[in-house]
Amino acid sequence: MLIRELKIPDSYEITPKQFGDDRGVFLEWYRFDKLEETIGHSLNLRQANTSVSKRGVVRGIHFADIPVGQAKYVTAAHGAVLDYVIDIRVGSPTFGQWDTVLLDDTDRRAIYIAEGLGHCFVALTDNATVSYLVTDVFNPSREHGINPLDPDVALVFPPEAGEPLLSPKDTDAPGLSAAAAAGSLPAWAATRAFYQSLNNGGN
């Protein structure tokens, strides 16, 4: 597999090598050792999630408190989504910026998003099926959101997604500036220290 760092530090696009014949296709969509070589530690995976979305559905921007946070390894098993990683770490050189990876059932790419980063996607097809491997179980008291329509973040949704469809939870979430003022965003220095602790075996 090919692993490429995105413009947001600590996020990566993973492109697997596919082996096809007249029976179909085989690929490795997750390899802990290849990712460990890249990020400095293996993932302690604790939960796997699947969502199915109609075209236009926007899920996010979501993140969890650090520590422990929730790193994510995401791929699309069916259909297509445009996946966004948003740097919400106060003090980061790319704070407020974002990058994207197209996840679909053709190239079968994945995206790795480290703890403390914001995550969002928009479904480009009906029945877009997204699978997530995550490093901690869902804990609602430590989960937070930022409104994906916040003009300070200014996510750009492709025209093929159609009209964005959002949950009340996401539209009621604060904007980036309000979340920063409330002290709910992770700090760049704290996330760097946490990543280093993981690289040192959690010590």
Q: Which structure tokens are listed for 132? A: 């997530």
- In single-letter form, the type of residue at position 180 comes to A
Task: Check 119, 132, 144, 195 and give the catalytic one.
Answer: 132
Of the residues 62, 73, 112, 119, only one is catalytic, namely 62
Cβ atoms of 53 and 130 closer than 8 Å? yes
132 included as an active-site residue:
yes
Q: Under the phi-then-psi rule, with left for phi > 0, alpha for psi from -120 to 50, and beta for the rest, what region is 21? A: beta
- Nearest C-alpha neighbor of 185 from the set 171, 197, 193, 175: 175
C-alpha to C-alpha distance for 195 and 41, rounded to whole angstroms: 9
Helix (H) or strand (E) holding 199: helix 188-199
Q: Is 62 a catalytic residue?
A: yes
Catalytic residues: 62, 132
